[in-house]
Amino acid sequence: MWKSTFSALEWLLRPRASALLQVAARESLSQEMPPSTCIHTSNLCKQFKGVSEYLSTEICTSRQKRFSLVTFVDSPGLVDGDMKYPFDVDEVILWLGDLCDLILVFFDPMGQALCKRTLNIVESLNEKHGDRLRFYLSKADEAGGESDRQRVMMQIVQELCKRPGLNKCGFDMPTIYIPNPNKPSRCVNQIEEVCRTVEKTINQTVQNTLNSLEKDCEIISEAIADTLINDRQTSVGNRRARCKSCFLTLLGFTVPMALMALLVLGALSKELLEMALGHEGTETLSLYLSPVAKVFDSLSVEQQFYGCGLLVLLSFLLLIIARFSFRTQPTLSGKQKRQLQEKLEYVQEVVKTKKKKLYEEYLRQSVSDQDMDL
């Protein structure tokens, strides 16, 4: 019975060229290379203690098959038994699975690929990211003859299908290997399919990123526009509140002032009023105040006292209502409005224009110039 080893290779495909891809040839980075060179690596080291001592990095400047857009993360081999890792390797792999765009599972026809721990992790990854999983039989040229390869693949498929989460229709496991001119093999090498899968994922990621950029621009623009509209509505409401407050305040001061004027004018003689206001002014004042004076004179002294107290109380009530019932809401300052307007213009004129150029560039790389002209 063939036994096989397993290595879960997770590919993080991001539509951006890494700043590390500036060395002329593939080489390993020294141990002094800080993990902060990649934001995901930095977060990984912060979240899982003991990982940083076992991280190693290799860089390559190859641009074949969009290699500069790909970041590979290779997980350690997993075995059953008493093997202990200095960090929680299961959680690390699951954490990386949440970040990556494609998860490739390589079954090696040598060793113990079908160990329980390996299948548990694959099943856990399949629960959340089943659409990202791809299975391959690596080193297929070392699996012996065609019948031996078939037995290995049947064994792997049987073990996978025992897991309910991995037992699905359309299961596919291409055979791949690195060709050796000195050791020709009749085994079908489907390694180009891996490259096509990676390239397809890159294209989809680029499209999703550009579409997400446009949606984010729309969300930001709508948020800024809503903020400015709400601020204008708040300013209009504040003006109305100030007008109502001023009216009630003026009315609150008018009542006691009118009462004092009535008392003062009633105490002055007619000759003194004619000297101050003239004959016509005195007649007009008498015309308007005589009804009030008659009503006031018809009341008893006690009623006049209560009436004055009631008017004073009404005046205080109006002032309190004007003070507390029509408070204004905070609004944006002129500087804040200008900043929001500048951000809105930047998103509309710069970011959206840049997104359009990037999308055209992407299409130009994907289709012919003739199709672009159409």
Instruction: Break the chain into its structural domains and give their ranges.
Output: 5-189, 210-366
Q: Residue 339 has what pLDDT?
A: 93
**Residue 117 confidence (pLDDT):** 78
Question: Is 6 in contact with 118 (CB distance < 8 Å)?
Answer: yes
Q: CA distances (Å), 248 to each of 134, 262, 322, in order?
A: 75, 21, 5
Report helix angle 191-267 to 334-346, nearest 10: 160
**Nearest CA to 137 among 161, 164, 110, 167?**
110
Helix/strand/coil (H/E/C) assignment for every residue in 231-289: HHHHHHHHHHHHHHHHHHHHHHHHHHHHHHHHHHHHHCCHHHHHHHHHHHHHHHHHHHH
Distance CA 44, CA 41 (A): 5
pLDDT of residue 222: 93
Give the architecture-level CATH label for domain 5-189: 3-Layer(aba) Sandwich (3.40)
Give the pLDDT confidence score for residue 288 in this predicted structure: 67
| Amino acid 225: pLDDT | 92
pLDDT at 340: 92
Q: Which residues of the chain have pLDDT under 70?
A: 1-40, 79-82, 111-114, 169-170, 261-277, 285-290, 292-293, 295-297, 299, 304, 366-374
Spatial contact of 140 and 150, defined as CB atoms under 8 Å apart: no
Q: Report how far residue 156's alpha carbon sits from residue 160's, in angstroms, rounded to the nearest whole number.
A: 6
pLDDT at 14: 34
pLDDT at position 210 is: 85
**Which residues make Cβ contacts (< 8 Å) with residue 173, sequence separation at least 6?**
107, 135, 136, 137, 153, 156, 157
Inter-helix orientation angle 116-129/146-161, to 10°: 70
What pLDDT is stored for residue 219 in this prediction?
A: 93
Q: Using one digit for the tens of pLDDT, what is the confidence trace for 313-356?
A: 888 887 787 777 777 788 888 899 999 999 999 998 898 888 88
